[in-house]
Amino acid sequence: MADVAFDGGLFVKAVVSLTVLMDPIGTIPVFLSVTRGSDARERGRAAWQAALVAAAVTGVFAFFGESILVGLGIGMPALQAAGGLLLLLLALELLRPFDEAPGESPVDVGNRAFVPLGTPLLAGPGAIATVMVFMHQSDGLGARISVVAALLTSVLLVYVVLRFSSVLNRLLKPNGIQVVSRVMGFLVAAVAVELVVGAVEQWSGGRAP
């Protein structure tokens, strides 16, 4: 009988990892720039559209990513190592001071909620690779349900942050957002190292792929 017990530890780990990788706090300046001049209703619609796109993209790779890799002849350790290296680059970006996004007029906010907000800013290579790794490592139906629940929880957190981005921007101010982004940069770097180490262990035969 399939193991359908909910894995709380895996759920928490996946929520933290995916939320850090999607980095909703660090996305606030870009979101405010993209929606500049929009009213509260348009901004709210852009927030849920971006969250929906992020959920759809990561969800597709969570369920069908391994099949795609098999079709391309790519092993899971290779994806894990590539994801880790990409995350290290992202961590370096988060740890550096960043300039505000250019003040473009909000022409076609809907499309910008899909690209670049939904993907690749939220559902980027790091989040995609991480959710695939979690699904690959999930042993039993319960573990997979835990990962899916974590993904939905992370996306909900992203939506809430973007929905109230104006309030958070006033509370945190640019310096506060940069501090949070740097803390997330350290966490992203830790996740990246764990992914690369795991890939090396699989290549060296430390554990079965």
For residue range 20-65, what is the model confidence (pLDDT) as tens digits?
Answer: 888 898 788 778 877 877 888 999 999 999 999 999 999 999 999 8
| 23: CB partners within 8 A, 6+ apart | 94, 181, 184, 188
The two tokens of residue 82 are: 């590539």
Cα distances (Å, whole numbers) of residue 143 to 5, 12, 21, 171: 7, 12, 20, 37
> Which ranges of the chain have pLDDT less than 50?
1, 100-107, 207-209
φ and ψ at 198, to 5 degrees? -60, -40
- pLDDT at site 10: 92
Q: For residue 101, what pLDDT is reported? A: 43
